[in-house]
Structure 1
Amino acid sequence: MAFGADTTTDEVIAGIDLRGKQALVTGASTGLGEETARALASAGAAVTLAVRDKAKGEAAAERIRKVTGNQGIDVAQVELSVPDSVRACAKTWLAGHGPLHLLVNNAGVMACPLTRTAEGWEMQFATNHLGHFLLTNLLAPALKAGAPGRIVNLSSAGHRFADVNFVDPHFNHRDYDKWSSYGQSKTANVLFSVELTRRLAPYGITANAVHPGGIQTELGRHLTDSDIEALMARVKTNAGSGEFKFKTIPAGAATSVWAATSPELEGRGGLYLEDCHVGELKSGPAASSGYFAYATDPASAARLWALSEATLGETFDLG
């Protein structure tokens, strides 16, 4: 069947057998993350829910066990904006598990007020990119042991709001704008997929970035009514003649599940995916779909990797 914007996770996962596979999904206690984990579990995968709130994660795990009959669901606690928490999570997970076949970096924050981590990093860049950068690299040995494997990085059409500002990514010397901040973090998610694929493809591991579509989830918990009005005005302007529609959570999570499991994507990485298909290169402020060229630029992807290593004070050799 042809997949599109209204395709659901159950339609994507139909006929897919993930028995014997291990997956890890961040931000899986609610919303898109929980639905992604449920779909993977329904196909037989063992799934770790990596979450901030352990109690909420355990509740989600129990819901998934109940609806899928799959008892191979466990929970790991991680605070992505805290490097020591990410390191502890990865260390514990590696000690208790074998190979990792599917990693879905789903968690994120959106348009929050200016907040800084203990290190002084801007929160959206720290959570949406740096935390997942660190976690993925720390889990790389398990991914290589489980190859062929896939990494899915949740990006957004919001990447079109801003490129990565390599001079001042943390807004130390420029006025903070929550949408520019969100945009650069989502661009970083795409660039990370490009460089990950370059480094890991020789081992049979690919990474792709996903735009899930517009979904009303806890991601928007920081938005005021005026924020939502402004966002919708921007979306409608960008949509041109197209009509914007919110997706259901099963439809929103479908592209993540498609990225993780579709035979069509075997061996393909560094792509921007939306509505269960590969997005197209677009230009201009009125682009209603697709990606901007700066989000997949190989030189920027390599530069972001170097910036991320320097920020974290750690070098990763995936060879």
Structure 2
Amino acid sequence: MARDNFGHDTTADEVLEGIDLTGKLALVTGGASGLGTETARALAARGAHVVIAVRDTEKGAAAAKEIREGSGSDKVDVIELDLASLDSIRQCADTFAAKYDRLDLLINNAGVMACPLAHTADGFEMQFGTNHLGHFLLTNRLAPLLEKSAPARIVNLSSRGHQFDDVHLDDPNFERRDYDKWASYGQSKTANVQFSVGLEKRLGGKGVHAYAVHPGGIMTNLGRHLTEDDIAMLRKRIEDNASQSPSSGGGFKSIPAGAATTCFAATAPELEGKGGVYLEDCHVAQVDDESRQDGVRSYAVDPGKAEALWTLSEEMVGEKFGY
């Protein structure tokens, strides 16, 4: 497949065709299932040494076996990580740095979606705490290894769900407003984009580039908290979008197609030196504050908002990261 024809149904293997990742080290969070497992398998199949970060190491071991069998590579390791615990994140980063002396690709894939109101071990609202703050701390703790490996890349999995809401800097934990699971999800996914903008400002000049991606609508374990009504709503939204933009392909994606944009962001030579952007269907999205079919909202890529989020995030995790 010609690279300029990549789109909605392109798979991870098609994106990586002809790309040699031999000698590259990749860390994939949430690698025990779904998009994380497929992303790890596709990268390993092209020669990368892959480490999957998982909350449940027993499930992680099973996923690693699946990845080895699917990729033909035995360079697949497992590391424990609970993104809902700052202590676990710090321990994971320390363990990783003690074992490996470099990091070429950091894929921040793990997350939760539309869960009931809950809190992390440190008292953060679960979706913002896991999807954003957890990856914020992990990424900054691992930044020295990424800098050492430059050119290196960071891929943050966002979502079209970022269109649901901006980040509420004055109340990220829903302490002064009624909790809404979709507003919470949207806030966390917007934070993933703004974090990519902040990372690019700090690390881009050092050869480490950050990208936010919308993988598409995929039925994976991410949807474990969804009710039948939630699924019906999402299905209708995706089908309506497809009917209004038939050229996009539309509809739910397969898992191999869902992992494609992540793999594209992580490896595409076309993106070299062009970080701080949001991608969908294997291309950089345009800024669009109206369309529900595609595009990235202007507030998600606003440099000022990205800076304010960075400051808040440092305060919340209790660490400052000087670049």
Tell whether the structures are fold-level matches, with TM greater than 0.5.
Answer: yes
Alignment match, 2:271: 265
Question: C-alpha distance in 1, partners of 2:184/2:44?
Answer: 34
Aligned residue type for 1:307: L
Match for residue 102 of structure 1 among 100, 105, 108: 105
For the 8 Å contact 2:242–2:251, the answer to whether it is kept is: no
Match for residue 210 of structure 2 among 207, 211, 215: 207
Superposed counterparts of 1:1-319, under 5 Å? 1=2, 2-236=5-239, 241-242=244-245, 244-284=250-290, 286-317=291-322, 319=323
Question: C-alpha distance in 1, partners of 2:176/2:245?
Answer: 38
- CA deviations 1:242-273 (Å, max 9, x no partner) are 35411000000000000001100011101010
Aligned residue type for 1:283: D
Question: C-alpha distance in 2, partners of 1:35/1:55?
Answer: 18
Question: C-alpha distance in 2, partners of 1:180/1:240?
Answer: 25
- CA deviations 1:222-241 (Å, max 9, x no partner) are 00111222333444555562
For the 8 Å contact 2:238–2:252, the answer to whether it is kept is: no
Q: Bigger shift: 38-47 or 229-238? A: 229-238
The percent identity for this pair of structures is: 60
Could you say what secondary structure the match of 1:221 adopts? Answer: helix
Question: C-alpha distance in 2, partners of 1:241/1:86?
Answer: 42
For the 8 Å contact 1:28–1:49, the answer to whether it is kept is: yes
- CA deviations 1:287-311 (Å, max 9, x no partner) are 3101110000000000000000000
TM (norm. structure 2) is: 0.96
For the 8 Å contact 1:50–1:76, the answer to whether it is kept is: yes
Question: C-alpha distance in 1, partners of 2:34/2:123?
Answer: 29
Question: C-alpha distance in 2, partners of 1:189/1:150?
Answer: 15
Aligned length: 317
Instruction: Classify 1:7/1:236 alpha carbon distance in 2 versus 1 (closer, same or farther; 3 Å).
Output: closer
Question: C-alpha distance in 1, partners of 2:165/2:198?
Answer: 19
Aligned residue type for 2:301: T
For the 8 Å contact 2:27–2:105, the answer to whether it is kept is: yes
Question: C-alpha distance in 1, partners of 2:240/2:45?
Answer: 39
RMSD of aligned alpha carbons: 1.2
Q: Bigger shift: 230-239 or 180-189? A: 230-239
Aligned residue type for 1:171: F
For the 8 Å contact 1:23–1:103, the answer to whether it is kept is: yes
Gaps of 5+ in 1: none
For the 8 Å contact 2:213–2:279, the answer to whether it is kept is: yes
For the 8 Å contact 2:84–2:121, the answer to whether it is kept is: no
Could you say what secondary structure the match of 2:146 adopts? Answer: helix
Could you say what secondary structure the match of 1:198 adopts? Answer: helix
Aligned residue type for 2:82: E
Gaps of 5+ in 2: none
TM (norm. structure 1) is: 0.97
